[in-house]
Amino acid sequence: MNLKFDRLTIILYLILVLFGWVNIYAACYNESHAVIWDLSQQHGKQLLWIGITLVLAIVVLYIEPRFFSQGSYIIYGLVLLLLVATLFIGTATKGGLSWINIGSFKLQPSEFAKFATALAVAKYMSGLDVDIHKRNVQLTVLALIGIPMGLVLLQHDTGSALVFLCFFIPLYREGLSPALFVIGVAAIVLFVLALLINQYLLMGIVLLCCLFYLFVWLSKRSRRHYLHTAGVLAACCLFIFSVDFAFEHVLEPHQQSRIYVLLGKTDDIKQAGYNVHQSKIAIGSGGVTGKGFLKGTITKANFVPEQETDFIFCTVGEEWGFIGSTLLIGLYVALLVHLISMAERQRSTFARFYGYSVASILFIHLLINVGMVLGLLPVIGIPLPFFSYGGSSLLAFSIMLFVFIRQDAERNLLL
């Protein structure tokens, strides 16, 4: 069978992986361990993972695509079992319980849960009698997304759990009402405002907005409009009252502190705001062209915690400058745009939905990671795809991408 794999996607992937390894090497560079294949160092371990991942990626390219579509629910179920097992045998790391020790290797099931969920939801949405406008279909999809998301939340991994919200993007492509996105944005705004101002004052503002809509904006009013407005008001008030509970009991103390720093309610650059403060200094010191490879003084002095994982972007900013940072983001944008183009040319609902899911997961990771490094979003700890140090994330993202490349290569064979 003469299969044509999408070369541009593979080239962009390889560039990101290679550039990521170069920056991991720079972030943890040690003159006494400068050999690139030194497995006692993180850059050596990452190089090993790159080799393993590339071998598995090639294997994925030659697996029948039906294996992934027909085995979607099995893969999904196995990953759910791993997530449940993590709650009992997982290792606590940095406040989270999201790792399973397998000898000298640490596995993070939450990274593979995104891939498995993308397969499962794509499989369900490809059913002949599935209509996203039906309530039972919406509830089923919500369950498929919500179960792994809830299990990840129980592991105190809020960052990874938030990524599951990206599945509403491909659902919107399949016909989900845009009203749900409006509700989502409104919920975020209310959440932030509830942390900034008094609850009762905020409810008063919401009441005034509802009255303005009802008596000024609407030219014709009916009993149905009054009931809808009352329902919206009640839902908003209930949500506002629940913010404090969610903030205190769902988020970890360090996550609460980071949100307060972001919102300006506290200015703690020695503890909660330390990472972002040092990251901004590193990126700003890089200027337009950067200090040069292995010449990042702030990076070398280890002022930025997690600089080879969640904060790898600050290494790019310091050593490669604004130009290098812009080129990196440009590579991601090019990959995302091309993935959407690939998704649109698919002839099966499964492949199209899965392609949009892959693009959405990568987009959310890019948005949150770069946003938190620049201080625009709270620090919630998620990696930069294909770029940050970590075997689980590299393997999960790569398999997820290459499964779609394999699906795309098969599209011309579909009737």
pLDDT band for position 187 (cuts 50, 70, 90): confident
Q: Does the pLDDT of residue 11 top 90, yes or no?
A: yes
Q: Does the pLDDT of residue 414 top 90, yes or no?
A: no
DSSP tally for the chain: helices H, then strands E: 17, 3
As a whole number of angstroms, the distance between CA 278 and CA 280 comes to 5
Q: What is the pLDDT of residues 250-300, one digit of tens each?
A: 777 767 776 776 676 666 656 556 778 788 888 999 899 999 988 888 877
Nearest to residue 112, comparing CAs of 69, 70, 76, 85?
Answer: 76
Question: Hey, which of 38-47, 235-244, 339-348 has the most confident mean pLDDT?
Answer: 339-348
Question: What would the mean pLDDT of 354-361 be, rounded to a whole number?
Answer: 97
Question: Hey, which of 29-33, 115-119, 276-280, 305-309 has the most confident mean pLDDT?
Answer: 115-119
Count of C-beta atoms within a 10 Å radius of residue 359: 24
As a whole number of angstroms, the distance between CA 313 and CA 19 comes to 11
pLDDT band for position 246 (cuts 50, 70, 90): confident
Q: Does the pLDDT of residue 236 top 80, yes or no?
A: yes
Angle at 283 between CA 24 and CA 336, to 5 degrees: 65
As a whole number of angstroms, the distance between CA 364 and CA 201 comes to 33
For residue 101, the model assigns a pLDDT of 85
As a whole number of angstroms, the distance between CA 92 and CA 106 comes to 12
Which residues does residue 221 pair with via DSSP β-bridges, in sequence order?
none
Q: In terms of pLDDT, which residue wins out, 337 or 96? A: 337
* Domain residue ranges in the chain: 7-181+256-413, 197-251
**Could you tell me if 42 and 24 are in contact, meaning their C-beta atoms sit under 8 angstroms apart?**
yes
**What are the tokens at 133?**
């406008």
Which residues does residue 105 pair with via DSSP β-bridges, in sequence order?
102
Strand 96-102 vs strand 105-107: parallel, antiparallel, or unpaired?
antiparallel
Strand, coil or helix: 11? helix
Q: In what order do the strands lie in the sheet with 96-102?
A: 91-93, 96-102, 105-107
Strand, coil or helix: 100? strand
> 264 — alpha (psi -120 to 50), left (phi > 0) or beta?
left
For residue 267, the model assigns a pLDDT of 60
For residue 94, the model assigns a pLDDT of 66
Q: Does the pLDDT of residue 80 top 50, yes or no?
A: yes
Give the lowest-confidence range in 215-229, 242-256, 298-312.
215-229
As a whole number of angstroms, the distance between CA 117 and CA 111 comes to 11
For residue 415, the model assigns a pLDDT of 43
Q: What is the pLDDT of residues 362-397, one digit of tens each?
A: 999 999 999 988 888 888 878 999 999 988 999 999
Q: Does the pLDDT of residue 216 top 70, yes or no?
A: no
26 burial type by CB count under 10 A (0-12 exposed, 13-18 middle, 19+ buried) = buried
Kindly report whether the global pTM for this prediction surpasses the value 0.85: yes
Question: What would the mean pLDDT of 339-349 be, rounded to a whole number?
Answer: 94
